Structure formats: C-alpha cells, structure tokens
Amino acid sequence: MKMHYLDNSHLQRLRDYQPRRRDESSLMKAAVAMIFRDSDRGTEVLLMQRAFHPKDPWSGQMAFPGGKIDPVDNASSKAAAIREAFEEVGAELADEDCLGQLDDLYGLKVNKVFSVHVACYLFKPQRALNLIANEEVADMVWLPLAHLADPNNAHDFMHPSEPSLNMPAVMINADKDQVLWGLSLRMLSNLHRVLGVTMNVLNEQDQITLRALEQRTLSMAALDSIDKELNEDNLTITSRGK
C-alpha cells in the first residue's frame, strides 16, 4: 500500500482553512477531535471503537473521540473536543496542537430538527500520546490515510436504525466488525476536500450520497432508538451519529 503523509503544504492548508460554522436548530451540540500522527505507514488518524452494550444503539461503532458540549466547556466546542479526547482515550491535547477546524456537520433530521450538530477539530501533536481507553471504548485504531486511497476497502453498509438507507462505508477490520461510515466518514471526506486530495475509497455516487444525508429524515422506528441515545448522560458521538 502506498504511503500517504500530510506534508507541510497540507498542514498549511488546514491552518489556513476557514471552516463553515453553522447554527441551525439541533437536538444536541457536540465536538470531536481528529488526531494525526506519522509512522512508517504514513500519516495515521486515530479512531476508537465504541464499547459493546446490548442497550446501546451505537454499540461497537467506529468514531473519533468526542461528545456533548457540557457546561464545563463554557460553550467552547474546541474545549469539549479536548476534554472528551482525554476522558475517552487519554489523549492530552493542547491548543498549540490544533491545526484547525473542518466545516460543521449535522446528522439526519428528527421531526424536521437535526439530530446533532458536530464541530470537528484537527490535532497533530509533536509528541507521542500515552493513550488509555476508558470504559466507553472497546478498541483504538491508528488508521493510515493510505487506507482511504484504496477502492478495495470500500464497503456497503445498511443504516442500523434505518435499514432502507444503504450507506457508503470503509472496512477497517472485518474480524472485529470495524466499519467506518456516517458522520466520521463525512468528516474524513471533508478533510480530503480541504486538502485537495482524492479519497479513492469513495466513488462519485458515494460522495453524492454523503452530501445529501443532511436532507434525510429518520422514520419513527429509527427515532425511538435515537431518542434513547440522545438521553444518555455520557453520549459519545460515533459514526452512527445521524
């Protein structure tokens, strides 16, 4: 597999980018941290697999560290991303590690209101992180960006709360049922757009489907499972955050 590194020109693009910030009505505001490091496999991005729980509709899903913006964050989405990254995976991030921010994203609509509003912050610390997962995390994966350049890693995935919705996805590890899709995949698609790099794992129709997701409305059956998740005190935004 060809190595893919974020070089200085890529990093400068991310620093210079002016994200589209939005403030439309949503059931919840949240933030995530997209964390990068360089290795002999190229630049890698940190993903976590949510812990398995029979009552959790997002059980086992792949995600970036993140969650709700709490009062302790003083309405700062970046502070929420930094706090959640430390609580969930032990990543000690600082403002100086932040490269910038991607466009705000929204999940699917619930009764004409977006389910979630997510801000995504980019971090590339110049030191090794001592990662320690908490009880919300089943596994952590450093995914090479090169994995997203290989069309052979494309995967079809049925939305678990809306089976009629066929989702573009990326297979990470079939043995561990690690599939990347939803909001997390949309964020990585946005990252590639900002960098001006083709994300070959997604074809043109996949990209169209991802861009159109915010216009979709959940069915009443799907709404029941989403409601349970939104009411959890320790909700973590996962790639099922629709």
Instruction: Walk along the chain (242 residues) and give the pLDDT tens digit of each residue.
Output: 455 899 999 999 999 999 999 887 777 899 999 999 999 999 999 999 999 877 666 678 999 999 999 889 888 999 999 999 999 999 999 999 999 999 999 887 777 788 789 999 999 999 999 999 999 999 999 999 999 999 999 998 876 666 677 789 999 999 999 999 999 999 999 999 999 999 999 999 999 888 887 776 665 455 555 455 545 444 443 333 33
Count the neighbouring beta carbons within 10 Å of the beta carbon of residue 192.
18
Cα dihedral 181, 157, 234, 76 in deg (nearest 10):
20
Domains and their CATH numbers in the chain: 8-227 (3.90.79.10)
Q: In the chain, what is the straight-line distance between the N-terminal and C-terminal CA atoms, in Å? A: 32
- The answer to whether 90 touches 84, Cβ cutoff 8 Å, is no
Count of C-beta atoms within a 10 Å radius of residue 108: 24
Cα gap 75→197, rounded to integer Å:
33
Tokens 């499972």 sit on residue: 225
> How far is 242 from 107, CA to CA, in rounded Å?
4
DSSP annotation of 225 reads H
DSSP state of 161: T
DSSP code string of 39-105: ETTEEEEEEEEEPP-TT-TTTT-EE-SEEE--GGGTT-HHHHHHHHHHHHH-----GGGEEEEPPPE
